[in-house]
Amino acid sequence: MMAPCFADANLMAVEPGLVFWTIVTFVVLVLLLAKVAWRPILRLVEEREKTIHGSLEAAKRDRSEAQGLLDEHRRLVGEARKEAAEAMKKALADAETARLELVARSRKEAEELLLHARRQLDEDKAKAQAELKGVVVELAIEVATKILGDQLQDQGRQRELLERYVVELPQRQKVSA
Amino acid sequence: MSLLSMAPSLLLGAELGAEASEKQPSVADAVFEHVTDSHVLEFHWPFGGQLVIQLPHWPVSLFGHVYDFGPTKHVVWMWIASVVLFLVVFLAGRARGKSLVPKGLSNLIEMIVLFVRDEIALKTMDEQMADQYLPYLLTAFFFIVFSAGVGLFPFSATSVGNIAVTAALAGCTFVLMQVAGISHQGFFGYFKHLIPAGVPWWMTPLMFPIELLGLFTKTFALCIRLFANMIAGHIVIFFILGLVFIMHTPIVAIGSVPFAVALYLLELIIILIQAYIFTMLSALFIGMSAHAH
């Protein structure tokens, strides 16, 4: 049953007509598709590959450039920061010196003022003491003159005596107190 | 040639067999009728009715023989596959326009084009040759895929499952092998270099015929491999489905139909693999004949 079927089917027969049409169809297809499809597609693919390659290169270049810029920027910022810190330190030091100077000067001035005031005071005191001494002596002479009246003729001698008394007076007062 | 197209004709065959027992067409008859060429295009509708187109005979007398150059079933389906292939590839190239970014169909086609270029052409030839022969290789790959792919649809036929078609394709590769060899090494250089370097001179009378024969055996193997792989799957699928009629019981369908579907899916893979193998070997042979070995 099977044997005649294979013979009828003739699977292995190479029909010249079919070979002819296949070659015609295939060759036409090769030429047509090469022109219309394969060449344009391959060209686009190559173009894209080139673009991707170029983009990658550009990206790499841009990145290294950006890295360089970033490094430069970092360096500059670091320098600026350092400079600022130095300026700050210098300013602080300057301020400290100025302060110390100011303090020293004002202290000196104050001391001078104090000294001056003290001297003035001493002077005034001495003057007042001298004046007071004169006034007291005169007063005492006057009082004594009034008391003693004419008994004391030799005024020069008396006066000397009285001055000694007046000088001794505070000491006597202290003793009595 | 397909799963669907077979069943009605087998049923028809069975009915005919019941009516006229002396003209009983077997399952094998039906199967081989579907995988071989004919001058009839048959379409059977699922719920009765059919369309039968008789194709013309164009007898041409050549060298004392009469050959029929009329388009057969396989020629028609080859043309349909070629038109579909042209439209798909053309539209894929057109769809993207000038944009460098592929999408959808162009992406798929481009992926295959790149595969053929990088994995087949550039692996077997130098860059200049690859560029030269890429259109041929790409067309061969897509032609086989589309011709066999069309054969998976109902009522269609697989033209690359015909030995005449594969012989013609292998013949094209053969011609390009000679063209590449002669254009790269010169006419005499090519035939001189058919004999591998290092073979002693006195071996020439033995080696030359062997190498010359080798050119034809390579081509022959190319032809038979594609033909056998393309037709075998179809025959197996048909016979497995035909088991229903051979066994005279529909219960077999429980096993045979899923099995046939699995084989059908396997066919899809086989088509791609065989297209790859045919293209790869063509590229290899062309590249080999261009350079002295």
Nearest alpha-carbon partner for B286 in B134, B174, B205: B174
Q: Quick check: helix, strand or coil at residue B1?
A: coil
Q: Is residue B106 part of a domain?
A: yes
Nearest alpha-carbon partner for B169 in B114, B216, B219: B219
Q: Quickly state the pLDDT bin for A68 (edges 50, 70, 90).
A: very high
Which residue among A1, A12, A25 sits closest to B26, beta carbon to beta carbon? A1
Looking at beta carbons, which residues of chain A come within 8 Å of B86?
29, 32-33, 36-37
Per the CB < 8 Å rule, is A13 touching B164?
yes
Chain A contacts in chain B segment 23-52 (CB below 8 A): 26, 28-29, 32-33, 35-37
Query: For residue B1, with 0-12 CB atoms within 10 Å meaning exposed, 13-18 middle and 19 or more buried, which class applies?
Result: buried
Tokens 């062309």: give the residue.
B286
Distances (CA, A) of B169 to A33, B83, B166, B195: 16, 18, 5, 26
What local confidence, expressed as pLDDT, does residue B262 receive?
A: 92
Q: Quickly state the pLDDT bin for A92 (edges 50, 70, 90).
A: very high
Tell whether the model's pLDDT for residue B125 goes beyond 80: yes
Which residue of A19, A46, A53 is the best one to mutate when testing the B interface, meaning the one whose CB has the most B CBs within 10 A?
A19
What local confidence, expressed as pLDDT, does residue B267 receive?
A: 92
- pLDDT tens-place string over residues B46-66: 787 888 888 888 888 888 788
Q: Quickly state the pLDDT bin for A43 (edges 50, 70, 90).
A: confident
Q: Is residue B40 part of a domain?
A: no
What local confidence, expressed as pLDDT, does residue A40 receive?
A: 86
Which residue of A1, A18, A42 is the best one to mutate when testing the B interface, meaning the one whose CB has the most B CBs within 10 A?
A18
Which residue among B33, B71, B167 sits closest to A21, beta carbon to beta carbon? B71
Tell whether the model's pLDDT for residue A129 goes beyond 90: no
Tell whether the model's pLDDT for residue B144 goes beyond 60: yes
Q: Quickly state the pLDDT bin for B233 (edges 50, 70, 90).
A: confident
Tell whether the model's pLDDT for residue A162 goes beyond 60: yes
Tell whether the model's pLDDT for residue A104 goes beyond 90: yes
B190 or B77: whose pLDDT is higher? Answer: B77
Indicate the average pLDDT of chain A: 84
What local confidence, expressed as pLDDT, does residue B286 receive?
A: 92
Per the CB < 8 Å rule, is B35 touching A11?
yes
**Could you tell me if residue A25 is left (phi over 0), alpha (psi between -120 and 50 degrees) or otherwise beta?**
alpha
Q: Mean pLDDT throughout B182-198?
A: 81
Q: Give dist(CA B235, CA B34) in Å, integer.
A: 9
Chain centroid, CA B59 distance in Å: 25
Q: Give dist(CA A126, CA A141) in Å, integer.
A: 22
Indicate the average pLDDT of chain B: 83
Tell whether the model's pLDDT for residue A106 goes beyond 70: yes
Task: Please state the domain extents for chain A.
Answer: 14-176
Q: What are the respective helix, strand and coil percentages of chain A, to the nearest 5?
A: 95, 0, 5
Q: Quickly state the pLDDT bin for A1 (edges 50, 70, 90).
A: very low
What local confidence, expressed as pLDDT, does residue B227 receive?
A: 93
Tell whether the model's pLDDT for residue A119 goes beyond 80: yes
What local confidence, expressed as pLDDT, does residue A173 receive?
A: 59
Tell whether the model's pLDDT for residue B18 goes beyond 90: no
- pLDDT tens-place string over residues B240-288: 888 888 888 888 888 888 999 999 999 999 999 999 999 999 999 999 8
Tell whether the model's pLDDT for residue A29 goes beyond 60: yes
What local confidence, expressed as pLDDT, does residue A171 receive?
A: 65
What local confidence, expressed as pLDDT, does residue A69 receive?
A: 94
Tell whether the model's pLDDT for residue B206 goes beyond 90: no
- pLDDT tens-place string over residues B75-101: 999 999 999 999 998 888 776 666 667
Type of residue found at B280: M
Tell whether the model's pLDDT for residue A56 goes beyond 60: yes
Q: Is residue B62 part of a domain?
A: no
Q: Give dist(CA B62, CA B164) in Å, integer.
A: 18
Which residue among B28, B69, B139 sits closest to A30, beta carbon to beta carbon? B139
Chain A contacts in chain B segment 125-154 (CB below 8 A): 131, 134-136, 138-140, 142-143
Nearest alpha-carbon partner for B224 in B142, B163, B283: B163
Domain containing residue B167: 78-290
B113 or A161: whose pLDDT is higher? Answer: B113
Number of domains in chain B: 1
Q: Is residue B202 part of a domain?
A: yes
Q: Is residue B277 part of a domain?
A: yes
- pLDDT tens-place string over residues B235-244: 898 888 888 8
B5 or B153: whose pLDDT is higher? Answer: B153
What local confidence, expressed as pLDDT, does residue B207 receive?
A: 83
The helix or strand, by DSSP H or E, that contains position B81, with its residue range, turns out to be: helix B73-95
What local confidence, expressed as pLDDT, does residue B105 receive?
A: 80
B58: closest chain A residue by CA? A17
Distances (CA, A) of A155 to A92, A131, A169: 76, 21, 20
Q: Quick check: helix, strand or coil at residue B53?
A: strand
Q: Is residue B197 part of a domain?
A: yes
Rg of the Cα atoms in chain B: 23
